[in-house]
A = this chain, B = another copy of it.
């Protein structure tokens, strides 16, 4: 049983507007329903869940993988919260940052770069292409699929070179993007996935949900992996 924590800043969906129409009880719950499966035990949390912003040591130790959506509330996530999440990722927690989580404190800390990108919000068509067809995150996903409306995220995306690029995004307005990306940091596996603007029905798309389902299983830590505490520097005897 893989333990999945889906975290959402849960801002846009809390007041009347397109996001609330699309996701009445929040994107975290839409995703939770969308990826529900017998081998997944799913919990959700938000910025206001508790005194630890929904991301306590206890919650992060429980989880095998953290799905993370955030956008306009990045600055409200405390530095200590971000450091705590990053530390858990390095120690083995899987991490699936979605869409605008590219600009979150956690992702930036793990990348070591600005993570800036071009963007344009005008509901334009996107095509996603698989460029690493053997990758487990692409299993069961067609070679190409379209989203009628998404926010444009375009290159240059200021990230370290990813370990694999599974999806490339094409946007009607002329831009391209590295849209599905694998990284490893310490014992933690990371998969970034670009689609998911709050005013688009992206998390109701079956292909998007399939990608997130795959990523959750791909990034989840397993019992076989050591849960290091990050303090394993030491003097050793010759062999």
Contact = CB atoms under 8 A, between A and B. Distances in A.
A224 to B, nearest CB: 4
A161 B176 CA distance: 19
A222 interface: yes
A17 interface: no
Given A139-B224, A146-B239, A172-B238, A178 B116 contact: no
Interface string A128-159: 01111110000110011010000010111110
Nearest to A231: B116
Contacts of A237: 120, 173
Interface stretch (A8-16, A163-171, A192-200): A163-171
A166 to B, nearest CB: 11
A90 interface: yes
Given A118-B233, A139-B224, A168-B168, 18 more contacts: A110-B112, A112-B112, A114-B186, A116-B233, A118-B234, A118-B236, A120-B235, A120-B237, A121-B235, A127-B176, A130-B156, A131-B178, A133-B156, A134-B186, A154-B236, A160-B160, A160-B184, A174-B239
Interface of A: 86, 90, 92, 109-114, 116-122, 124, 127, 129-134, 139-140, 143-144, 146, 152, 154-158, 160-161, 163-165, 168-176, 178, 183-189, 222, 224-226, 230-239
25 contacts: A92-B134, A119-B235, A119-B236, A122-B238, A124-B238, A129-B154, A129-B155, A129-B156, A129-B175, A129-B176, A130-B156, A132-B161, A133-B156, A134-B189, A134-B225, A143-B156, A152-B236, A155-B168, A156-B232, A158-B186, A160-B184, A168-B176, A170-B170, A170-B176, A175-B236
